[in-house]
Structure 1
Amino acid sequence: MNGPENIGRVVDEVYQEALKITEGDLASYIPELAVVDPELFGLSICDVEGNRINRGNTRHPFTIQSVSKVLSHICVLACQDDDTIAKRVGVEPTGEDFDSIIKLDRHRRPFNPMVNAGAIAVTDLLMSAHGDGALEKTLQLYARMLGCARVEIDETVFLSELRTGERNRAIAHLLNNFKLLDHPVEEVLQLYFKHCSVQVTTETLAHLGAVLARRGRAPTQDQALVEPDCVRKVMSVMLSCGMYNYAGQWIYEVGLPAKSGVSGCLLIVVPGRMGIGIYSPRVDVRGSSLRGVHAGRLLSERLGLHLLAG
């Protein structure tokens, strides 16, 4: 990691400044997320050489939620051709909330894989590719990308989402109405909710970011986990769509591929350099961690990480 002492000092400063933020709310529309400790805060960096910096609650497990969309997008790019995927989901930003159905109803195809409609369509494509083994196959790739021997599903969160996820049911039924699903709605949603309920830490998220930063290769390893072209496609969509209707401001201020999740997690990739994983469960109205967004902004500014900074 270039200038590890300087980076460590900056991370300490950023962590302490972001820690002061107490605004935001827990994502109460998923009941199990409403009972977590709002003061939890972890920040992890893993560079492409495997060097790590960790501050705070970096080993506390939480559910990956919408950051799973990055991994599911990687999975579908590995098993379906571009034309098949493009018939079901595009790559354009929506400018709308992550669970909006306004443009879906008008255009009859999800705009991108980072919003709920697009991720549900991707989930259906994964079922078509892998059949009854879709969960096992996808979780194997999840584990490799996260640097784990295996990943676990938080069954309590999964059942909570399955029981209360009526908005996602509405989206899935609308997709089904447009002939964009080949499998029963409830079966597709079960797999989608299980992906969202995978347990991670900021350390495993940072490892995922480092794999993406290294164009599909894990730190210190030569074997490719995914093809570089797949990484390019995924990071392009993360950059333009990963922060939902905050994406434009995020690119303007931070300028890095990123993906947020309503559990309060945030994945940031610095291509060629490092992955950053952040967790703090108080989120804004867009479903992004307030501490996480603030920390990402400060890290980009103070370490000169913006892709267009020259």
Structure 2
Amino acid sequence: MICNDQGTLNEMIEAAKNYTQFGKVADYIPALQLANNDTLSVAVYGGGKSCMKAGNIEETFTLQSISKVITLALVLMDHGEEYVFSRVGMEPTGDPFNSIIKLETHTPSKPLNPMINAGALAVTSMISGRTARDKLDRLLQFVHDLTGRKTINFNENVAKSEFETADLNRSLCYFMKQHGVIHDNVEELLDLYTKQCAIEMNCEDLAKMGYIIANEGQDTETKQQIIPHDIARILKTFMITCGMYNASGEFAIRVGIPAKSGVSGGIMASIPHGVGIGIYGPALDDKGNSIAGMKLLESLSAHYDLSIF
């Protein structure tokens, strides 16, 4: 059993660490350049007190694109599938996560899915709340419910750094606003979006969120249904088809686990009806995924036969 095999996990993380030398930390967001390229940590959470950890486990990091999964869950709970997917599509894309090309060529300029930046910005604009602060507080409360840790907040330095370098995301917002996909004030939306991406936690927190999604949205210890069953299913589907940027197809073949990565180096994985896995390894490959984290998940999947296919 994966949650009772600490020795194997230690061996796998040491082997995967060798791959950090082939990646580099994200440099287009200045605050993320401060990460240690050699870092790699993992937590495997199976409910209750069942959690294995290895590496620099107490180190915190920002969610970045992993937050797109959580925000999608929240707006689906707020508005329902029909409303959300009338504004954001469900199809994978082979383009980079920050590409504008599909907005220009796809009618009616609707983002192809919620895991690319254009789609995520549209989803963030749907969070219910009277003010931007209300929306952020609701999102943070949702994260607290998923992790069981009420002190989680966003990293102000990372959020500020992202906001000041968000010209491409501004372009995506103005394009979508021109075509009626979003209606928000662009600067206010970007302020909320960069704070969403800068929500900060450790690998164990991330593994707990992955566990809730893996187990049909339920905290199996308290029996609380935090995410409705049907929405948890949608999240896992997007994670397997779109979760690893434009490497999602190869990841599905090599690893076969619903997962979502972020350019801080985090990866959240959800084994259906099984464990949640949280990984942090800031050295990225050319697609923006943690290079050692991908290798570690591939090893875990092969050793424990975790692929859903």
TM-score by structure 1 length? 0.95
Please, which moves more after superposition, 253-262 or 148-157? Answer: 148-157
Distance of 2:231 and 2:49 partners within structure 1? 22
Q: Which residue of 2 aligns with 1:60?
A: 59
Paired residue for 2:115? 114
Write out per-residue CA displacement over residues 159-193 of structure 1, whole angstroms, 9 at most, x where no aligned residue.
00111111111111111111111211111111110
Report what 2:97 is aligned to. Answer: 98
Structure 1 residue 147, shift from structure 2 partner: 2.4
**TM-score under structure 2 normalisation?**
0.96
C-alpha separation between the residues in 2 aligned to 1:205 and 1:99? 24
For residue 10 of structure 2, what is the aligned residue in structure 1?
12
Gaps of 5+ in 1: none
- Map 1:24-43 onto structure 2 (within 5 A): 24-43=23-42
Code of the aligned partner of 2:161: S
SS at match of 1:112: coil
How far apart are 1:122 and its partner, in Å?
0.3
Determine if contact 1:62/1:263 at 8 Å carries over to the other structure: yes
- SS of match in other structure, 2:145: helix
Q: Aligned pair in 2 of structure 1 residues 202, 3: CA closer, same or farther (>3 Å)?
A: closer
CA distance in 2: counterparts of 1:163 and 1:100, whole angstroms: 19
> 1:48 deviation in Å?
3.6
Residue 221 to residue 184, structure 1, CA distance change in 2 (3 Å): same
The answer as to whether partners of 2:239 and 2:259 remain within 8 angstroms in 1 is yes
Within 5 Å, which residues of 2 pair with 1:1-310? 2=1, 4-5=3-4, 7-21=5-19, 22-107=21-106, 108-126=109-127, 129-132=128-131, 133-308=134-309
- Change in Cα spacing, 1:138 to 1:164, as seen in structure 2 (3 Å) is same
Identity of aligned residues (%): 34
Runs of at least 4 residues of structure 1 off by over 4 A?
none
Give the aligned CA root-mean-square deviation in angstroms: 1.2
Task: Say if 2:89 and 2:111, in contact at 8 Å, map to a contact too.
Answer: yes
Q: What is the letter of the counterpart of residue 206 of structure 1? A: A
Contact between 2:61 and 2:264, CA under 8 Å: does it hold in 1?
A: yes
Separation (CA, whole Å) in 2 of partners of 1:131 and 1:285? 39
Q: Secondary structure at the match of 1:305?
A: coil
Kept in 1: contact 2:41–2:55 (CA 8 A): yes
Q: Which amino acid aligns with 1:268?
A: A
CA–CA distance in 1 between the matches of 2:219 and 2:250? 30
Unaligned stretches of 5+ in structure 2? Answer: none
Distance 2:240 2:202 in 1: 22
Corresponding residue pairs, total: 304
